[in-house]
Amino acid sequence: MSRIAYVNGRYVPHADASVHIEDRGYQFADGVYEVVAVTGGRLVDELPHLDRLDRSLRELRIAAPMSRAALRTVLREVVRRNRVANGIVYLQVTRGAAPRDHAFPKSGLFPALVVTARSQAPKRSQQDDGVAVITVPDIRWKRCDIKSVSLLPNVLAKQTAVEAGAYEAWQIAADGCVTEGSATNAWIVSGDRALVTRPADESTLDGITRRTVIDIAARNGYRLEERGFTLEEAKRAAECFLTSTTSWVMPVTSIDGARIGDGAPGPLSRALLSHYADYVASLA
Ligand code: PMP
């Protein structure tokens, strides 16, 4: 079955889909994106993702390409046309195409919208076994709360992880604190069994999965501390895990080769993963 993409008002074969060479996303990474999980044909946490999209657009003063209702229709249509039951839908909005100039063009600019979808299996075996994380210095800009397509430091971080045989790279700020992964939020379980994750400020992306896990923790009586933690604290933690749309709750069993706990996914990570899986299943 051939894949279909939505590009600026048209559904086109994925292989033929293209945007203008002077699209500002291509030339300046002047755009934002979202990745929404699809489970049983349903979009997981669609509205929080669209709220975060609106916020990213507002922060960068990019106009919305269409109404929320229209966008929701396009997302569903791309999922349907690609027959995605379980997978992801990707959407990207750029400021539009214009003769190259750093400043925004004064007129004639229309935001560009691209939506794609693909099937993707859940990462069950990695969730069961846990994954390795390595660390890199956080070399990103000071507005990591905006979900910008400007992902070069994240790309390099993830490549370093892959070359080291690890699942993810945790980025370390100048003060020694873990900010987040290349595409995931970072968590630890402290010695007194509190869940610890960095507060959602401008140094990290406020992950939608992070928020859902915070809700799950509150509903189930887990203690939560939103605070920074250092790499040293993470290495000594009882448990570590990461969260994202596609990873769910992923236990981390080593950091830079140092074993976390007894080297197997810990009980709290496994409990949260199980709650999260139940939550996703309840939407299908
Ligand atoms: N941090 C970064 C840098 C990310 O790219 C992502 C994935 N979008 C996340 C965290 C996790 O966010 P979410 O739970 O919304 O997928």
Q: How confident is the model at residue 117 (pLDDT cuts 50, 70, 90)?
A: very high
pLDDT score, position 284: 79
The atom number, within ligand 1, closest to the CA of 246 reads: 16
Whole-number average pLDDT of the chain: 97
pLDDT score, position 65: 98
The one catalytic residue in 123, 142, 147, 235 is: 147
End-to-end CA gap in the chain: 24
Q: Within 6 Å (CB) of ligand 1, which residues are found?
A: 35, 154, 180, 183-185, 205, 207-210, 243-245
Q: Is 142 a catalytic residue?
A: no
The per-residue pLDDT for range 145-174, each reduced to its tens digit, is 999 999 999 999 999 999 999 999 999 999
The atom number, within ligand 1, closest to the CA of 208 reads: 15
- Kindly report the pTM of this predicted structure: 0.97
pLDDT score, position 2: 86
The per-residue pLDDT for range 38-97, each reduced to its tens digit, is 999 999 999 999 999 999 999 999 999 999 999 999 999 999 999 999 999 999 999 999
1 has pLDDT over 90: no
Residues near 203 by beta carbon (within 8 Å), at least 6 away in sequence: 138, 142, 144, 145, 173, 179
The protein residue whose alpha carbon is closest to atom 6 in ligand 1 is 183
The protein residue whose alpha carbon is closest to atom 8 in ligand 1 is 183
